[in-house]
């Protein structure tokens, strides 16, 4: 039992290592999402880049003679979150530089509700921004932004709306945090906050239509949270422990973990949560896999019983059956069924039957080697002690089961692959069909979920097999310890 | 004498069929280009293929399947033997890690492993397929070699020869290598059978050899719903007969009377595989 517990405790770190490894491989192999491309994979040494980005853009715009469209776009996108770093630094720029910076800030001003005339003189615009900062610098604090958003969430008035709009992207963190509805009565609040966030970020597709229901509002709020998880690092600065946490969280891996926790392991291409698809597809795959296991068990038992009888003819028959079964791979049988039955082959029972046939040879092959196995001596002893044949038979079944459990670790991969192939050939909507589709048209969320699921399954089956084999026949574990296999 | 000839017949048939496959693979480059312009066109139009073109496709597919299976088997045998031999020197750490790795990989679906490798494969499938199949074989062979070596080195006859002053090299040559070779060859044959089945399954679902490269599995996928029976029979029959021939040869080799220690070694393999 101690061994089992130790193995179970090791599963956690093993799974973490596997998610890291799989995510690294998949992320480097798959084309990155454009929004995630500039985020580091696992570790962000500089989270909360708004200060750096804003200062960089400011210097590029102010110091260059010509247009800097990239920097201007960046400044416009950073918006209110960049103002605490841009506006105080305006005085340090040359008059031409200042003029260029305020021109770049014009889209931000429009979003914030300023009445800016494009025919204005640059100095007038600079003066306007300077005055704004003198009056409102105190508002650009997290606590003020939080209060303003909470007030707007409670009740919408023109003044409250203006307050939040003037904070622009600086208020996004609070806006998105307050957005998820807490019930049907919350629909209006979520719509208000989503509309404001959509106006600020220029994403009208993430607004909630007037006729939307609460489910749609929840989906939009969730989409905003996904967007914020990817973009947060561009609009924020961190300090203290929050900064340390952000070093891990504001990464592509952190984004995947956050999405997996919030969205039931993420979304597949079709937009459904991975967990829902996994549960649905498992209803097909698990019966197939169980039938494969059952077939393997039946094969092991019949092989074990025949071997314990020490019948040369039985061993020969067993060997012939094993060779015959290897001549009829399950792929060929499944395709034959498909040709014969056409669309009618899309039946779970047929897949289960094929898996039953596919599983048996895996265990039969061990018995077909003609080795006497561990059960023979036992059976002979039982017979010499006058034990009834049926009890000797039961002992053979138990010993054969133990042998199967011990060997099963090596065959699980085959059984899982065969289940996937049978599903695919027969057109059954199981895990295999989904996985093959996700491999053909790469889907990171599904592949991560199935990899972690397969690793968890592998680990658990390993532990379970060890426990069961020890239960059925403790000699296996002792023998393994003697061979240096056990600790 | 009659009985012996009867019992040798299946083995001879298997050897004959494998020789035919080998010959077809070797001659495919001379035969196939004369009959068709493009292997990819041949593969895609397999459902309507007859006669010489079908033969050309079969030869090309045989060559590709044999090349993949043989390469993966050889890589697995080489690296697996080396890894297994190294593992016996680290009874706790290396051996334990190896056992766990084999146990873990054993339960990880091969399909997913190939698929993941394939995503980062610049050759669109060949390298990924070879790497995944070789990895699976390497770990299995390593476990087998480790178990057989342990079994042979701990045998009484080795102890006795050491007491009589035999050198380690002599012991290896006289006692250990002969006892490891036969199970290893049997395992390689049965492993090659498993590889052919796996490659066919992967090519069938489009995750094996690159699209357009002839292989039995991809051919089976191309004719799965086609009305003509001959191409289907050729593809399915090739997979089935090749698997049966390899498996049968491996089984007959494994079932032949073993030197002392052979059976316990097999039991240790099973133990190691489950750990």
pLDDT tens readout for residues B253-266: 877 665 544 444 44
Mean pLDDT of chain A: 80
Return the domain boundaries, chain A: 50-139, 142-250, 274-482
**Whole-prediction pTM:** 0.73
Distance, in Å, from the CA atom of B217 to the CA atom of B68, rounded to the nearest integer, reads: 13
Q: Which residues of B touch A405 (CB under 8 A)?
A: 274
- pLDDT tens digits along A67-89: 678 888 888 888 888 888 888 88
User: From the CA of A27, how many Å to the nearest CA of chain B?
Assistant: 10
Beta carbons of A193 and A175 less than 8 angstroms apart: yes
A286 pLDDT above the threshold of 50: yes
Record: contact A459-B96, CB cut-off 8 A: no
Distance, in Å, from the CA atom of A93 to the CA atom of A75, rounded to the nearest integer, reads: 16
Record: contact B273-A409, CB cut-off 8 A: yes
A241 pLDDT above the threshold of 70: yes
Residue of chain B nearest A3, judged by CA positions: B275
Segment B3-7 mean pLDDT: 57
Q: Which residues of B touch A32 (CB under 8 A)?
A: none
Record: contact A416-B118, CB cut-off 8 A: no
Beta carbons of B265 and B152 less than 8 angstroms apart: yes
Inform me whether the C-beta atom of residue B119 falls under 8 Å from chain A C-beta atoms.
Answer: yes
Ordered by where they begin, the domains of chain B are: 18-274 (1.10.3720.10)
Chain B, 206 to 225: residues with Cβ < 8 Å from chain A are 206-207, 217, 220, 224-225
Instruction: Give, in order, the Cα–Cα distances in Å from B209 to each of A237, A331, A440.
Output: 49, 17, 13
Phi, psi at A251, each rounded to 5° = -135, 170
Tell me which CATH code domain A274-482 carries: 1.10.3720.10
- pLDDT tens digits along B191-228: 888 889 888 888 888 888 887 788 898 888 888 877 78
Segment A354-371 mean pLDDT: 65
Record: contact A485-B99, CB cut-off 8 A: yes
Categorize the per-residue pLDDT at A409 as very low, low, confident or very high, splitting at 50, 70 and 90: low
Distance, in Å, from the CA atom of A133 to the CA atom of A114, rounded to the nearest integer, reads: 13
CB pairs under 8 A between A and B: 212
Residue of chain A nearest B115, judged by CA positions: A439
| Tokens of residue B136, six digits | 């699976």
User: From the CA of B34, how many Å to the nearest CA of chain A?
Assistant: 30
Record: contact A322-B247, CB cut-off 8 A: yes
**CA quadruple B139, B145, B149, B152: dihedral positive or negative?**
positive
Higher pLDDT, A322 or A199: A199
Residue of chain B nearest A419, judged by CA positions: B109
The predicted structure's pLDDT at residue A147: 92
Q: Smallest Cβ distance to A484: which of B103, B150, B200?
A: B150
Record: contact A323-B108, CB cut-off 8 A: no
- pLDDT tens digits along B20-36: 888 888 888 777 665 55
Residue of chain B nearest A449, judged by CA positions: B112
Distance, in Å, from the CA atom of A409 to the CA atom of B143, rounded to the nearest integer, reads: 13
The predicted structure's pLDDT at residue A373: 47
Residue of chain A nearest B114, judged by CA positions: A439
A370 pLDDT above the threshold of 80: no
A280 pLDDT above the threshold of 70: yes
The predicted structure's pLDDT at residue B69: 92
Q: What distance lies between CA A159 and its chain's CA centroid?
A: 42
Q: For chain B, give the percent of residues with pLDDT over 90.
A: 5
- pLDDT tens digits along A89-104: 888 888 888 888 888 8
- pLDDT tens digits along B223-254: 887 778 888 888 888 898 898 888 888 877 87
The predicted structure's pLDDT at residue A485: 45
Q: Could you count the other beta carbons within 10 Å of the beta carbon of residue B66?
A: 20
Higher pLDDT, A419 or A374: A419
Helices (H), ranges, A265-388: 274-308, 312-327, 330-341, 348-367, 375-384
Higher pLDDT, B35 or B70: B70
User: From the CA of B221, how many Å to the nearest CA of chain A?
Assistant: 8
Phi, psi at A119, each rounded to 5° = -90, 0
Distance, in Å, from the CA atom of A72 to the CA atom of A59, rounded to the nearest integer, reads: 11
Higher pLDDT, A456 or A403: A456
Q: Which residues of A touch B13 (CB under 8 A)?
A: none
Inform me whether the C-beta atom of residue B140 falls under 8 Å from chain A C-beta atoms.
Answer: yes
Record: contact B205-A436, CB cut-off 8 A: yes
Record: contact A466-B275, CB cut-off 8 A: yes
Segment B75-93 mean pLDDT: 79
For testing contact with chain A, the best of B108, B230, B237 (most A CBs within 10 A): B108
Inform me whether the C-beta atom of residue B241 falls under 8 Å from chain A C-beta atoms.
Answer: yes
Nearest to B218 by CA among B50, B67, B45: B45
Provide the strand spans (E) within A102-250.
none
Segment A166-193 mean pLDDT: 86
Give the SS3 label for residue A431: helix
Distance, in Å, from the CA atom of A27 to the CA atom of B38, rounded to the nearest integer, reads: 35
Q: Which of A190-199, A209-218, A294-303, B89-98 has the highest mean pLDDT?
A: A190-199
Inform me whether the C-beta atom of residue B36 falls under 8 Å from chain A C-beta atoms.
Answer: no
Q: Smallest Cβ distance to A331: which of B106, B204, B266?
A: B204
| Tokens of residue B58, six digits | 């079969």
Q: Smallest Cβ distance to A339: which of B92, B225, B252?
A: B225
Least confident of A380-384, A408-412, B12-16: A408-412
Distance, in Å, from the CA atom of A453 to the CA atom of A447, rounded to the nearest integer, reads: 10
Record: contact A410-B274, CB cut-off 8 A: yes
Record: contact B247-A447, CB cut-off 8 A: no
Segment B171-187 mean pLDDT: 84
Record: contact A329-B102, CB cut-off 8 A: no
Q: What distance lies between CA A201 and its chain's CA centroid?
A: 27
Higher pLDDT, A456 or A476: A456
Least confident of A137-146, A173-182, A261-270: A261-270
Record: contact A414-B194, CB cut-off 8 A: yes
Beta carbons of A400 and A301 less than 8 angstroms apart: yes
User: From the CA of B253, how many Å to the nearest CA of chain A?
Assistant: 9
Q: Smallest Cβ distance to B241: which of A327, A447, A455?
A: A327
Distance, in Å, from the CA atom of B50 to the CA atom of B48, rounded to the nearest integer, reads: 7
Give the SS3 label for residue A202: coil
The predicted structure's pLDDT at residue B73: 92
**CA quadruple B150, A407, B69, A21: dihedral positive or negative?**
negative
Record: contact B274-A328, CB cut-off 8 A: no
Q: Which residues of B touch A408 (CB under 8 A)?
A: 274
Q: At a CB cut-off of 8 Å and minimum separation 6, what does B245 contact?
A: B13, B14, B15, B17, B18
* Residue found by looking up tokens 């904070």 in the block: A167
User: From the CA of B33, how many Å to the nearest CA of chain A?
Assistant: 29
Beta carbons of B129 and B213 less than 8 angstroms apart: no
The predicted structure's pLDDT at residue A475: 62
Chain B, 177 to 196: residues with Cβ < 8 Å from chain A are 190, 193-194
Distance, in Å, from the CA atom of A414 to the CA atom of A420, rounded to the nearest integer, reads: 10
Phi, psi at A61, each rounded to 5° = -70, -45
Higher pLDDT, B105 or B266: B105
Segment A19-29 mean pLDDT: 81
A51 pLDDT above the threshold of 70: yes
Q: For chain A, give the percent of residues with pLDDT over 70.
A: 84
Distance, in Å, from the CA atom of A233 to the CA atom of A231, rounded to the nearest integer, reads: 6
Inform me whether the C-beta atom of residue B244 falls under 8 Å from chain A C-beta atoms.
Answer: yes
**Adjacent-strand bridge partners of B133:** none
**CA quadruple B118, B122, B126, B127: dihedral positive or negative?**
negative
Q: What distance lies between CA A483 and its chain's CA centroid?
A: 39
- pLDDT tens digits along A303-316: 767 766 666 677 77
For testing contact with chain A, the best of B92, B194, B275 (most A CBs within 10 A): B275
A419 pLDDT above the threshold of 60: yes
* Residue found by looking up tokens 């918006």 in the block: A79
B71 pLDDT above the threshold of 90: yes
Output the DSSP codes for B147-194.
HHHHHHHTSHHHHHHHHTT--HHHHIIIIIHHHHHHHHHHHHHHHHHH
Q: Smallest Cβ distance to B248: which of A323, A339, A416?
A: A323
A255 pLDDT above the threshold of 70: yes
User: From the CA of A298, how many Å to the nearest CA of chain B?
Assistant: 18
Inform me whether the C-beta atom of residue B96 falls under 8 Å from chain A C-beta atoms.
Answer: yes
Residue of chain B nearest A461, judged by CA positions: B107
Q: For chain A, give the percent of residues with pLDDT over 90.
A: 0
């Amino acid at each position: 039992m101690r061994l089992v517990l130790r193995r179970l405790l090791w599963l956690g770190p093993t799974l973490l290592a596997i998610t890291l490894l799989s995510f690294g491989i998949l992320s480097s192999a798959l084309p990155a999402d454009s929004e995630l491309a500039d985020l580091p994979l696992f570790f962000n040494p500089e989270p909360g880049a708004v200060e750096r980005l804003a200062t960089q853009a400011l210097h590029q715009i102010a110091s260059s003679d010509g247009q800097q469209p990239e920097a201007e776009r960046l400044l416009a996108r950073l918006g209110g979150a960049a103002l605490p770093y841009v506006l105080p630094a305006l005085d340090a720029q040359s008059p031409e530089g200042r003029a260029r910076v305020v021109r770049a800030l014009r889209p931000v001003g429009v979003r914030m509700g300023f009445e800016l005339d494009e025919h204005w003189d640059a100095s007038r615009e600079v003066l306007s921004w300077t005055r704004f900062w003198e009056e409102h610098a105190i508002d650009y604090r997290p606590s003020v932004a939080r209060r303003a958003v909470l007030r707007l969430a409670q009740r919408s008035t023109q003044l409250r709306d203006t307050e939040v709009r003037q904070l622009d992207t600086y208020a996004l963190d609070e806006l998105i945090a307050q957005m998820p509805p807490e019930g049907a009565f919350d629909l209006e609040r979520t719509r208000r906050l989503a509309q404001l966030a959509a106006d600020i970020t220029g994403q009208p597709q993430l607004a909630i239509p007037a006729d939307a229901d609460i489910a749609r509002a929840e989906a939009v709020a969730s989409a905003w949270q996904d967007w914020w998880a990817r973009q947060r690092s561009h609009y924020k600065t961190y300090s203290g422990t929050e900064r340390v946490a952000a070093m891990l969280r504001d990464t592509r891996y952190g984004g995947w973990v956050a999405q997996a926790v919030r969205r039931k392991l993420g979304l597949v291409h079709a937009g459904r949560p991975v967990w829902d698809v996994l549960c649905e597809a498992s209803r097909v795959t698990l019966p197939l896999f169980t039938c494969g296991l059952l077939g393997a068990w039946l094969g092991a038992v019949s092989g074990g019983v025949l071997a314990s009888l020490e019948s040369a003819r039985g061993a020969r028959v067993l060997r012939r059956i094993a060779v015959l079964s290897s001549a009829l791979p399950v792929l060929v049988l499944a395709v034959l069924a498909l040709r014969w039955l056409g669309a009618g082959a899309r039946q779970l029972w047929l897949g289960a039957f094929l898996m039953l046939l596919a599983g048996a040879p895996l265990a039969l092959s061990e018995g077909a080697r003609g080795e006497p196995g561990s059960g023979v001596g036992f059976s002979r002893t039982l017979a010499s002690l006058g034990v009834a044949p049926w009890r000797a038979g039961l002992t053979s079944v138990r010993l054969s089961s133990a042998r199967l459990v011990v060997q099963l670790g090596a065959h699980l991969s085959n059984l899982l692959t065969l289940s996937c192939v049978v599903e695919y050939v027969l057109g059954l909507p199981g895990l295999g069909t989904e996985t093959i589709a996700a491999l053909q048209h790469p889907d990171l969320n599904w592949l991560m979920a199935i990899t972690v699921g397969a690793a968890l399954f592998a680990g658990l089956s390993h532990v379970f097999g060890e426990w069961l084999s020890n239960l059925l026949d403790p000699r296996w574990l002792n023998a393994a310890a003697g061979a240096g296999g056990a600790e | 004498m009659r009985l012996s000839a009867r019992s040798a017949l299946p083995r001879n048939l298997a050897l004959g069929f494998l020789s035919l496959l080998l010959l077809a693979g070797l001659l495919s480059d001379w035969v196939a280009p004369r009959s068709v312009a493009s292997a990819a066109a041949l593969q895609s139009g397999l459902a309507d293929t007859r006669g010489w073109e079908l033969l050309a496709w079969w030869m090309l597919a045989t060559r590709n399947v044999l090349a993949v299976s043989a390469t993966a088997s050889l890589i697995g045998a080489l690296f697996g033997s080396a890894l297994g031999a190294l593992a016996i020197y680290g009874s706790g750490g290396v051996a334990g890690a190896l056992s766990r790795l084999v146990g873990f990989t054993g339960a990880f679906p091969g399909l997913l492993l190939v698929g993941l490798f394939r995503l980062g494969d610049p050759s669109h499938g060949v390298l990924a397929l070879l790497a995944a199949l070789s990895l699976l074989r390497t770990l299995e062979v390593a476990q087998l070699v480790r178990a057989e070596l342990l079994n042979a080195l701990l045998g009484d006859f080795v102890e006795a020869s050491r007491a009589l002053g035999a050198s380690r090299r002599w012991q290896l040559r006289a006692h250990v290598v002969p006892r490891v070779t036969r199970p290893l060859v049997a395992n390689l044959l049965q492993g090659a059978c498993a590889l052919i089945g796996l490659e066919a399954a992967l090519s069938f679902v489009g995750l094996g050899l690159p699209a357009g490269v002839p292989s039995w599995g991809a051919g089976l996928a191309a004719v799965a719903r086609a009305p003509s029976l001959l191409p289907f029979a050729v593809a399915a029959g090739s997979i089935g007969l090749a698997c049966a021939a390899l498996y049968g040869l491996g089984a007959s080799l494994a079932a032949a009377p073993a030197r002392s220690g052979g059976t316990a070694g097999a039991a240790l393999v099973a133990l190691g595989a489950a750990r």
